[in-house]
Structure 1
Protein backbone atom coordinates (compact mmCIF):
# COMPACT_ATOMS: atom_id res chain seq x y z
CA UNK A 1 0.00 0.00 0.00
CA UNK A 2 1.33 3.44 -0.83
CA UNK A 3 2.04 5.52 2.23
CA UNK A 4 0.88 8.98 1.26
CA UNK A 5 2.48 11.90 3.04
CA UNK A 6 -0.03 13.49 5.32
CA UNK A 7 0.97 17.12 5.17
CA UNK A 8 -0.76 20.34 4.21
CA UNK A 9 -1.58 21.00 0.57
CA UNK A 10 -1.70 24.49 -0.92
CA UNK A 11 -3.44 25.83 -3.99
CA UNK A 12 -3.76 29.33 -5.33
CA UNK A 13 -6.70 30.13 -3.03
CA UNK A 14 -6.88 27.27 -0.54
CA UNK A 15 -4.95 25.71 2.30
CA UNK A 16 -5.76 22.06 2.99
CA UNK A 17 -4.56 21.18 6.49
CA UNK A 18 -4.49 17.66 7.90
CA UNK A 19 -7.71 17.29 9.88
CA UNK A 20 -7.31 17.69 13.65
CA UNK A 21 -9.91 17.54 16.44
CA UNK A 22 -9.08 21.19 17.20
CA UNK A 23 -10.74 22.13 13.88
CA UNK A 24 -14.12 20.83 15.06
CA UNK A 25 -15.67 24.11 16.23
CA UNK A 26 -14.92 26.00 13.02
CA UNK A 27 -15.81 23.05 10.80
CA UNK A 28 -19.11 22.50 12.62
CA UNK A 29 -20.21 25.82 11.11
CA UNK A 30 -19.65 24.22 7.69
CA UNK A 31 -20.86 20.69 8.41
CA UNK A 32 -24.15 21.53 10.09
CA UNK A 33 -25.73 22.78 6.84
CA UNK A 34 -28.43 20.27 5.78
CA UNK A 35 -27.81 21.10 2.10
CA UNK A 36 -24.49 19.23 2.31
CA UNK A 37 -26.35 16.01 3.12
CA UNK A 38 -28.83 16.01 0.25
CA UNK A 39 -26.98 13.15 -1.49
CA UNK A 40 -25.33 11.60 1.58
CA UNK A 41 -27.08 8.99 3.76
CA UNK A 42 -26.48 10.74 7.05
CA UNK A 43 -27.65 13.85 8.83
CA UNK A 44 -25.67 16.94 9.88
CA UNK A 45 -23.86 16.65 13.20
CA UNK A 46 -25.93 17.85 16.14
CA UNK A 47 -23.18 19.77 17.89
CA UNK A 48 -19.47 20.55 18.02
CA UNK A 49 -18.81 17.51 20.23
CA UNK A 50 -20.14 15.20 17.51
CA UNK A 51 -17.76 16.75 14.98
CA UNK A 52 -14.86 16.55 17.44
CA UNK A 53 -15.57 12.85 18.10
CA UNK A 54 -15.65 12.12 14.36
CA UNK A 55 -12.44 14.08 13.83
CA UNK A 56 -10.72 12.17 16.67
CA UNK A 57 -11.71 8.87 15.08
CA UNK A 58 -10.46 9.67 11.58
CA UNK A 59 -7.39 11.71 12.54
CA UNK A 60 -5.57 8.52 13.58
CA UNK A 61 -4.89 8.06 9.87
CA UNK A 62 -5.48 4.30 9.60
CA UNK A 63 -8.23 1.77 10.04
CA UNK A 64 -7.95 -0.47 13.12
CA UNK A 65 -6.80 -3.41 10.98
CA UNK A 66 -4.22 -1.23 9.18
CA UNK A 67 -5.62 -2.07 5.74
CA UNK A 68 -6.73 1.49 4.95
CA UNK A 69 -4.91 4.77 5.20
CA UNK A 70 -7.20 7.72 5.90
CA UNK A 71 -6.28 11.16 4.68
CA UNK A 72 -8.57 13.99 5.70
CA UNK A 73 -8.01 17.67 5.18
CA UNK A 74 -9.86 20.69 6.47
CA UNK A 75 -10.01 23.41 3.82
CA UNK A 76 -9.48 27.11 4.48
CA UNK A 77 -9.29 30.26 2.37
CA UNK A 78 -5.68 31.37 2.26
CA UNK A 79 -6.61 35.07 2.31
CA UNK A 80 -9.00 35.14 5.26
CA UNK A 81 -8.67 31.77 7.00
CA UNK A 82 -12.40 31.15 6.58
CA UNK A 83 -13.39 27.47 6.76
CA UNK A 84 -14.44 26.13 3.34
CA UNK A 85 -14.96 22.38 3.83
CA UNK A 86 -13.33 18.96 3.86
CA UNK A 87 -11.52 16.65 1.45
CA UNK A 88 -11.12 12.95 2.18
CA UNK A 89 -9.15 10.09 0.67
CA UNK A 90 -9.15 6.45 1.71
CA UNK A 91 -6.28 4.38 0.34
CA UNK A 92 -6.59 0.60 0.23
CA UNK A 93 -3.84 -2.04 0.27
CA UNK A 94 -4.06 -2.51 -3.49
CA UNK A 95 -3.08 1.12 -4.11
CA UNK A 96 -6.59 2.25 -5.03
CA UNK A 97 -7.96 5.38 -3.38
CA UNK A 98 -11.49 6.70 -2.91
CA UNK A 99 -12.12 10.42 -2.60
CA UNK A 100 -14.92 12.62 -1.31
CA UNK A 101 -15.44 16.24 -0.41
CA UNK A 102 -17.83 18.70 1.22
CA UNK A 103 -17.76 22.41 0.45
CA UNK A 104 -19.67 25.02 2.42
CA UNK A 105 -22.79 26.04 0.49
CA UNK A 106 -21.82 29.73 0.42
CA UNK A 107 -18.70 28.69 -1.55
CA UNK A 108 -20.48 26.56 -4.17
CA UNK A 109 -19.96 27.41 -7.85
CA UNK A 110 -16.66 29.18 -7.21
CA UNK A 111 -14.48 26.22 -8.29
CA UNK A 112 -13.07 25.57 -4.82
CA UNK A 113 -13.97 21.87 -5.12
CA UNK A 114 -12.16 21.69 -8.47
CA UNK A 115 -9.10 23.48 -7.12
CA UNK A 116 -8.89 21.41 -3.95
CA UNK A 117 -9.59 18.08 -5.60
CA UNK A 118 -6.85 18.73 -8.18
CA UNK A 119 -4.40 19.11 -5.28
CA UNK A 120 -5.65 15.92 -3.60
CA UNK A 121 -5.50 13.89 -6.83
CA UNK A 122 -1.99 15.17 -7.56
CA UNK A 123 -0.78 14.33 -4.02
CA UNK A 124 -2.24 10.83 -4.22
CA UNK A 125 -0.65 10.04 -7.59
CA UNK A 126 2.67 11.60 -6.52
CA UNK A 127 2.77 9.15 -3.62
CA UNK A 128 2.16 5.93 -5.55
CA UNK A 129 -1.61 5.61 -5.67
CA UNK A 130 -2.50 3.58 -8.78
CA UNK A 131 -6.07 4.76 -9.37
CA UNK A 132 -8.68 6.94 -7.71
CA UNK A 133 -12.43 6.44 -7.61
CA UNK A 134 -15.39 8.48 -6.45
CA UNK A 135 -18.89 7.11 -5.89
CA UNK A 136 -21.54 9.77 -6.39
CA UNK A 137 -25.30 9.75 -6.07
CA UNK A 138 -26.57 9.88 -9.66
CA UNK A 139 -28.77 12.89 -8.78
CA UNK A 140 -25.75 14.94 -7.69
CA UNK A 141 -25.14 16.55 -11.07
CA UNK A 142 -22.59 19.16 -9.85
CA UNK A 143 -20.31 16.47 -8.36
CA UNK A 144 -20.60 14.31 -11.47
CA UNK A 145 -19.66 17.33 -13.58
CA UNK A 146 -16.69 18.00 -11.30
CA UNK A 147 -15.36 14.46 -11.72
CA UNK A 148 -15.62 14.77 -15.49
CA UNK A 149 -13.76 18.11 -15.44
CA UNK A 150 -11.00 16.54 -13.38
CA UNK A 151 -10.49 13.81 -16.00
CA UNK A 152 -12.33 11.03 -14.17
CA UNK A 153 -14.25 8.67 -16.47
CA UNK A 154 -17.59 7.02 -15.82
CA UNK A 155 -17.17 3.33 -14.92
CA UNK A 156 -20.57 2.01 -13.85
CA UNK A 157 -23.90 2.80 -12.33
CA UNK A 158 -25.07 0.84 -9.29
CA UNK A 159 -28.85 0.75 -8.87
CA UNK A 160 -30.67 1.05 -5.57
CA UNK A 161 -27.54 1.17 -3.45
CA UNK A 162 -29.16 2.66 -0.37
CA UNK A 163 -32.59 3.92 0.65
CA UNK A 164 -32.40 7.23 2.50
CA UNK A 165 -34.36 10.45 2.80
CA UNK A 166 -37.36 8.84 1.14
CA UNK A 167 -35.71 7.57 -2.05
CA UNK A 168 -33.32 4.98 -3.42
CA UNK A 169 -29.84 6.18 -4.27
CA UNK A 170 -28.27 5.04 -7.53
CA UNK A 171 -24.52 5.51 -7.38
CA UNK A 172 -22.18 6.33 -10.24
CA UNK A 173 -18.57 5.18 -10.05
CA UNK A 174 -16.01 7.52 -11.60
CA UNK A 175 -12.30 6.64 -11.95
CA UNK A 176 -9.06 8.35 -12.89
CA UNK A 177 -5.65 6.87 -13.60
CA UNK A 178 -2.34 8.74 -13.34
CA UNK A 179 -2.15 9.04 -17.14
CA UNK A 180 -5.43 11.05 -17.17
CA UNK A 181 -4.45 13.49 -14.45
CA UNK A 182 -4.93 17.16 -15.36
Structure 2
Protein backbone atom coordinates (compact mmCIF):
# COMPACT_ATOMS: atom_id res chain seq x y z
CA UNK A 1 0.00 0.00 0.00
CA UNK A 2 1.36 3.43 -0.96
CA UNK A 3 2.16 5.96 1.74
CA UNK A 4 -0.10 8.90 2.46
CA UNK A 5 -0.86 11.36 0.96
CA UNK A 6 -2.47 9.91 -2.18
CA UNK A 7 -4.26 11.65 -5.03
CA UNK A 8 -7.82 10.50 -5.74
CA UNK A 9 -9.21 12.28 -8.80
CA UNK A 10 -9.74 15.87 -7.70
CA UNK A 11 -8.87 15.10 -4.08
CA UNK A 12 -5.87 14.50 -1.87
CA UNK A 13 -6.40 11.93 0.89
CA UNK A 14 -3.85 12.46 3.66
CA UNK A 15 -3.13 12.57 7.37
CA UNK A 16 -4.52 15.34 9.54
CA UNK A 17 -2.17 18.14 10.61
CA UNK A 18 -2.41 20.95 13.15
CA UNK A 19 -3.23 23.36 10.30
CA UNK A 20 -6.60 21.57 9.86
CA UNK A 21 -8.04 22.62 13.24
CA UNK A 22 -9.92 25.71 12.03
CA UNK A 23 -11.58 24.05 9.02
CA UNK A 24 -12.33 20.88 11.01
CA UNK A 25 -13.93 22.92 13.81
CA UNK A 26 -16.03 24.87 11.30
CA UNK A 27 -17.64 21.96 9.46
CA UNK A 28 -18.05 19.76 12.54
CA UNK A 29 -19.81 22.71 14.23
CA UNK A 30 -22.32 23.09 11.39
CA UNK A 31 -25.73 21.78 12.62
CA UNK A 32 -26.55 20.65 9.08
CA UNK A 33 -23.41 18.47 8.97
CA UNK A 34 -23.85 17.18 12.54
CA UNK A 35 -27.57 16.42 12.22
CA UNK A 36 -27.23 12.65 11.76
CA UNK A 37 -23.80 12.29 13.36
CA UNK A 38 -22.94 11.18 16.89
CA UNK A 39 -21.49 14.51 18.04
CA UNK A 40 -23.32 17.70 19.07
CA UNK A 41 -22.73 21.03 17.34
CA UNK A 42 -20.99 23.34 17.92
CA UNK A 43 -17.71 21.58 18.63
CA UNK A 44 -15.45 23.63 20.96
CA UNK A 45 -12.16 24.52 19.30
CA UNK A 46 -10.22 22.96 22.18
CA UNK A 47 -12.02 19.64 21.62
CA UNK A 48 -11.40 19.86 17.87
CA UNK A 49 -7.72 20.60 18.46
CA UNK A 50 -7.44 17.53 20.68
CA UNK A 51 -9.19 15.34 18.11
CA UNK A 52 -6.98 16.56 15.28
CA UNK A 53 -3.89 15.90 17.39
CA UNK A 54 -5.09 12.34 18.01
CA UNK A 55 -5.87 11.84 14.32
CA UNK A 56 -2.39 13.08 13.37
CA UNK A 57 -0.70 10.63 15.78
CA UNK A 58 -2.80 7.57 14.86
CA UNK A 59 -1.24 4.76 12.85
CA UNK A 60 -2.95 3.60 9.67
CA UNK A 61 -3.56 -0.14 9.42
CA UNK A 62 -3.67 -0.99 13.15
CA UNK A 63 -6.86 -1.89 15.10
CA UNK A 64 -8.99 1.09 16.05
CA UNK A 65 -10.08 4.26 14.31
CA UNK A 66 -7.97 6.03 11.71
CA UNK A 67 -9.27 9.31 10.29
CA UNK A 68 -8.27 10.39 6.76
CA UNK A 69 -8.28 14.10 5.93
CA UNK A 70 -9.89 14.91 2.55
CA UNK A 71 -8.50 17.93 0.73
CA UNK A 72 -9.68 19.65 -2.47
CA UNK A 73 -7.88 22.60 -4.00
CA UNK A 74 -5.68 22.93 -0.93
CA UNK A 75 -8.68 23.13 1.41
CA UNK A 76 -9.83 20.56 3.98
CA UNK A 77 -13.33 19.56 2.84
CA UNK A 78 -14.06 16.57 5.09
CA UNK A 79 -12.83 13.32 6.54
CA UNK A 80 -13.29 9.56 6.20
CA UNK A 81 -12.90 7.28 9.21
CA UNK A 82 -12.12 3.55 9.30
CA UNK A 83 -12.25 1.43 12.44
CA UNK A 84 -10.21 -1.73 11.93
CA UNK A 85 -11.26 -4.73 14.05
CA UNK A 86 -8.77 -6.59 16.22
CA UNK A 87 -8.75 -9.48 13.72
CA UNK A 88 -7.65 -7.01 10.98
CA UNK A 89 -10.13 -8.61 8.59
CA UNK A 90 -13.19 -6.42 9.28
CA UNK A 91 -13.71 -2.68 9.49
CA UNK A 92 -16.38 -0.02 10.05
CA UNK A 93 -16.68 3.09 7.87
CA UNK A 94 -17.78 6.68 8.46
CA UNK A 95 -17.51 9.89 6.42
CA UNK A 96 -18.22 13.63 6.70
CA UNK A 97 -18.10 16.41 4.08
CA UNK A 98 -18.44 20.14 4.83
CA UNK A 99 -21.78 21.55 3.73
CA UNK A 100 -20.32 24.01 1.18
CA UNK A 101 -18.51 21.15 -0.53
CA UNK A 102 -21.40 18.68 -0.64
CA UNK A 103 -23.09 17.75 -3.91
CA UNK A 104 -19.83 17.66 -5.90
CA UNK A 105 -19.06 13.96 -5.66
CA UNK A 106 -16.22 14.45 -3.18
CA UNK A 107 -17.60 11.92 -0.71
CA UNK A 108 -17.85 9.26 -3.41
CA UNK A 109 -14.26 9.83 -4.58
CA UNK A 110 -12.84 9.96 -1.06
CA UNK A 111 -14.64 6.86 0.22
CA UNK A 112 -13.72 4.90 -2.92
CA UNK A 113 -10.06 5.80 -2.39
CA UNK A 114 -10.16 4.74 1.26
CA UNK A 115 -11.93 1.47 0.42
CA UNK A 116 -9.22 0.66 -2.13
CA UNK A 117 -6.63 1.13 0.62
CA UNK A 118 -8.56 -0.88 3.20
CA UNK A 119 -9.23 -3.88 0.97
CA UNK A 120 -5.62 -3.84 -0.24
CA UNK A 121 -4.52 -4.71 3.32
CA UNK A 122 -6.50 -7.97 3.34
CA UNK A 123 -9.68 -6.75 5.01
CA UNK A 124 -12.56 -9.00 3.93
CA UNK A 125 -15.58 -6.96 4.99
CA UNK A 126 -16.44 -3.29 5.60
CA UNK A 127 -19.62 -2.36 7.49
CA UNK A 128 -21.42 0.98 7.65
CA UNK A 129 -24.60 2.28 9.18
CA UNK A 130 -26.52 5.52 8.99
CA UNK A 131 -29.65 7.17 10.28
CA UNK A 132 -32.52 5.97 8.08
CA UNK A 133 -33.40 9.63 7.36
CA UNK A 134 -29.92 10.29 5.98
CA UNK A 135 -30.84 9.49 2.39
CA UNK A 136 -27.70 11.11 0.91
CA UNK A 137 -25.38 8.78 2.83
CA UNK A 138 -27.56 5.77 2.05
CA UNK A 139 -27.45 6.59 -1.68
CA UNK A 140 -23.67 6.95 -1.55
CA UNK A 141 -23.27 3.53 0.07
CA UNK A 142 -25.66 2.00 -2.47
CA UNK A 143 -23.68 3.57 -5.30
CA UNK A 144 -20.40 2.15 -4.00
CA UNK A 145 -21.82 -1.36 -3.95
CA UNK A 146 -22.72 -1.78 -0.28
CA UNK A 147 -25.63 -4.14 0.30
CA UNK A 148 -28.47 -3.14 2.61
CA UNK A 149 -28.42 -5.76 5.33
CA UNK A 150 -31.01 -4.59 7.79
CA UNK A 151 -33.06 -1.92 9.53
CA UNK A 152 -32.87 -1.54 13.30
CA UNK A 153 -36.06 0.27 14.29
CA UNK A 154 -35.85 2.79 17.15
CA UNK A 155 -32.37 1.47 17.93
CA UNK A 156 -30.35 4.61 18.73
CA UNK A 157 -31.17 7.39 21.21
CA UNK A 158 -29.68 10.43 19.49
CA UNK A 159 -30.14 14.09 20.33
CA UNK A 160 -33.34 13.57 22.30
CA UNK A 161 -35.10 11.04 20.06
CA UNK A 162 -35.09 7.39 19.04
CA UNK A 163 -33.81 6.86 15.51
CA UNK A 164 -33.88 4.01 12.98
CA UNK A 165 -30.53 2.68 11.72
CA UNK A 166 -29.84 1.32 8.23
CA UNK A 167 -27.14 -1.37 8.13
CA UNK A 168 -24.82 -1.87 5.15
CA UNK A 169 -22.03 -4.31 4.29
CA UNK A 170 -19.48 -4.72 1.52
CA UNK A 171 -17.32 -7.80 0.93
CA UNK A 172 -13.86 -7.69 -0.60
CA UNK A 173 -14.87 -10.07 -3.39
CA UNK A 174 -17.80 -7.83 -4.33
CA UNK A 175 -15.53 -4.77 -4.37
CA UNK A 176 -13.02 -6.57 -6.59
CA UNK A 177 -15.76 -7.80 -8.94
CA UNK A 178 -17.33 -4.36 -9.24
CA UNK A 179 -14.01 -2.66 -9.99
CA UNK A 180 -11.61 -4.97 -11.83
CA UNK A 181 -9.60 -1.96 -12.90
CA UNK A 182 -10.05 1.67 -13.95
CA UNK A 183 -13.51 2.17 -15.39
CA UNK A 184 -12.71 3.93 -18.68
CA UNK A 185 -10.03 2.18 -20.71
CA UNK A 186 -10.16 3.04 -24.44
CA UNK A 187 -10.27 6.54 -25.93
CA UNK A 188 -7.76 9.31 -26.70
CA UNK A 189 -9.20 11.87 -29.14
CA UNK A 190 -8.26 15.46 -29.85
CA UNK A 191 -11.50 17.41 -29.52
CA UNK A 192 -11.82 20.76 -31.28
CA UNK A 193 -13.69 23.15 -29.00
CA UNK A 194 -14.87 26.73 -29.19
CA UNK A 195 -13.74 27.68 -25.67
CA UNK A 196 -11.07 25.71 -23.81
CA UNK A 197 -12.04 27.34 -20.51
CA UNK A 198 -15.66 26.23 -20.78
CA UNK A 199 -14.61 22.73 -21.82
CA UNK A 200 -12.22 22.47 -18.87
CA UNK A 201 -15.06 23.47 -16.58
CA UNK A 202 -17.15 20.59 -17.91
CA UNK A 203 -14.57 17.81 -18.10
CA UNK A 204 -12.64 18.70 -14.93
CA UNK A 205 -15.23 20.21 -12.59
CA UNK A 206 -18.22 18.12 -13.62
CA UNK A 207 -16.90 14.80 -14.99
CA UNK A 208 -13.95 14.52 -12.62
CA UNK A 209 -11.11 14.58 -15.16
CA UNK A 210 -7.79 15.92 -13.86
CA UNK A 211 -6.17 18.80 -15.77
CA UNK A 212 -2.75 17.74 -17.01
CA UNK A 213 -1.63 21.01 -18.55
CA UNK A 214 -2.66 24.05 -20.62
CA UNK A 215 -0.52 25.11 -23.56
CA UNK A 216 -0.76 28.41 -25.43
CA UNK A 217 2.46 28.49 -27.48
CA UNK A 218 1.20 28.61 -31.07
CA UNK A 219 4.53 27.73 -32.71
CA UNK A 220 5.28 24.87 -30.35
CA UNK A 221 1.90 23.37 -31.16
CA UNK A 222 2.53 23.52 -34.95
CA UNK A 223 -0.64 25.55 -35.51
CA UNK A 224 -1.38 27.50 -38.65
CA UNK A 225 -1.54 31.28 -38.59
CA UNK A 226 -5.33 31.19 -38.61
CA UNK A 227 -5.65 29.19 -35.41
CA UNK A 228 -6.00 31.01 -32.07
CA UNK A 229 -3.29 30.58 -29.47
CA UNK A 230 -5.03 31.84 -26.30
CA UNK A 231 -5.92 29.91 -24.23
CA UNK A 232 -4.81 27.24 -26.75
CA UNK A 233 -4.76 23.55 -25.87
CA UNK A 234 -5.33 21.57 -22.69
CA UNK A 235 -5.02 17.96 -21.64
CA UNK A 236 -7.44 16.28 -19.25
CA UNK A 237 -7.36 12.70 -18.04
CA UNK A 238 -9.30 10.19 -16.02
CA UNK A 239 -8.55 6.50 -15.42
CA UNK A 240 -6.69 5.41 -18.60
CA UNK A 241 -8.17 8.09 -20.87
CA UNK A 242 -6.57 11.36 -21.96
CA UNK A 243 -8.50 13.96 -23.96
CA UNK A 244 -6.89 16.80 -25.88
CA UNK A 245 -8.98 19.98 -26.02
CA UNK A 246 -7.87 22.35 -28.79
CA UNK A 247 -9.55 25.72 -29.28
CA UNK A 248 -10.44 26.39 -32.91
CA UNK A 249 -13.12 28.79 -34.22
CA UNK A 250 -16.42 27.46 -35.49
CA UNK A 251 -18.76 24.63 -34.63
CA UNK A 252 -17.19 21.26 -33.83
CA UNK A 253 -19.21 18.24 -32.85
CA UNK A 254 -18.23 14.61 -32.75
CA UNK A 255 -19.24 11.36 -31.06
CA UNK A 256 -16.97 10.23 -28.27
CA UNK A 257 -17.13 6.60 -27.16
CA UNK A 258 -16.00 5.86 -23.60
CA UNK A 259 -15.79 2.11 -23.03
CA UNK A 260 -16.06 0.66 -19.52
CA UNK A 261 -15.74 -2.89 -18.28
CA UNK A 262 -19.20 -3.57 -16.87
CA UNK A 263 -22.77 -2.34 -16.61
CA UNK A 264 -22.16 -1.81 -12.88
CA UNK A 265 -19.43 0.71 -13.71
CA UNK A 266 -21.73 2.54 -16.13
CA UNK A 267 -24.20 2.82 -13.26
CA UNK A 268 -21.43 4.00 -10.93
CA UNK A 269 -20.41 6.78 -13.33
CA UNK A 270 -24.07 7.69 -13.87
CA UNK A 271 -24.59 8.07 -10.12
CA UNK A 272 -21.36 10.03 -9.64
CA UNK A 273 -22.04 12.47 -12.46
CA UNK A 274 -25.69 12.95 -11.56
CA UNK A 275 -24.63 13.76 -7.98
CA UNK A 276 -22.38 16.49 -9.36
CA UNK A 277 -25.29 17.99 -11.30
CA UNK A 278 -24.26 16.83 -14.78
CA UNK A 279 -27.17 16.85 -17.21
CA UNK A 280 -27.50 13.32 -18.60
CA UNK A 281 -29.08 13.33 -22.06
CA UNK A 282 -30.09 9.64 -21.86
CA UNK A 283 -29.77 7.47 -18.73
CA UNK A 284 -28.25 3.98 -19.00
CA UNK A 285 -30.24 1.24 -20.71
CA UNK A 286 -29.54 -1.67 -23.07
CA UNK A 287 -29.46 -0.45 -26.67
CA UNK A 288 -30.82 -2.54 -29.57
CA UNK A 289 -27.24 -3.44 -30.52
CA UNK A 290 -26.59 -4.94 -27.08
CA UNK A 291 -24.57 -2.19 -25.38
CA UNK A 292 -25.56 -0.89 -21.94
CA UNK A 293 -25.14 2.83 -22.58
CA UNK A 294 -25.82 6.37 -21.36
CA UNK A 295 -25.28 9.58 -23.27
CA UNK A 296 -24.39 13.15 -22.35
CA UNK A 297 -23.26 16.27 -24.22
CA UNK A 298 -20.31 18.57 -23.56
CA UNK A 299 -20.55 22.39 -23.98
CA UNK A 300 -19.74 22.12 -27.70
CA UNK A 301 -22.46 19.55 -28.33
CA UNK A 302 -20.05 16.64 -28.61
CA UNK A 303 -21.93 13.44 -27.78
CA UNK A 304 -20.33 11.27 -25.10
CA UNK A 305 -21.49 7.65 -25.29
CA UNK A 306 -20.48 5.70 -22.14
CA UNK A 307 -21.11 2.00 -22.67
CA UNK A 308 -20.34 -1.55 -21.67
CA UNK A 309 -21.59 -5.01 -22.56
CA UNK A 310 -25.03 -5.56 -20.98
CA UNK A 311 -25.26 -6.97 -17.48
CA UNK A 312 -25.32 -10.75 -17.53
1:86 to 79, 86, 103: 79
Q: 1:131 to 1:26 in 2, by over 3 A?
A: same
- Residue 83 of structure 1, CA deviation: 1.6
SS in 2 for 1:52: helix
In the alignment, is the contact (CA less than 8 A) between 1:68 and 1:92 conserved in 2? yes
Q: 1:23 to 1:151 in 2, by over 3 A?
A: same
Aligned counterpart, 1:112 = 106
Aligned counterpart, 2:29 = 32
- d(CA) in 1 for partners of 2:41 and 2:121? 32
In the alignment, is the contact (CA less than 8 A) between 2:31 and 2:42 conserved in 1? no
In the alignment, is the contact (CA less than 8 A) between 1:72 and 1:88 conserved in 2? yes
Higher RCO, 1 vs 2 (CA within 8 Å, ≥6 residues apart):
1
Aligned counterpart, 2:67 = 72
- d(CA) in 2 for partners of 1:110 and 1:129? 29
Aligned counterpart, 1:157 = 151
- Residue 45 of structure 1, CA deviation: 4.3
Larger Rg, first or second structure (1 or 2) = 2
SS in 2 for 1:93: coil
CA RMSD across the alignment: 1.9
TM-score, scaled relative to structure 2: 0.52
| CA offset digits 1:45-76 (Å, max 9, x no partner) | 433221011223344426xxxx8232211111
- Aligned: 1:7 with 2:32: no
- Count of residues in Structure 1 that have an aligned counterpart in Structure 2: 173
| CA offset digits 1:6-28 (Å, max 9, x no partner) | 62232111111112344212322
Gap regions ≥5 residues in structure 2: 180-312
SS in 1 for 2:150: strand
Mean CA deviation greater in 164-173 or 80-89: 164-173
In the alignment, is the contact (CA less than 8 A) between 1:86 and 1:102 conserved in 2? yes
Gap regions ≥5 residues in structure 1: none
- d(CA) in 1 for partners of 2:133 and 2:50? 30
In the alignment, is the contact (CA less than 8 A) between 1:5 and 1:127 conserved in 2? no
- Residue 110 of structure 1, CA deviation: 1.0
Q: 1:6 to 1:135 in 2, by over 3 A?
A: farther
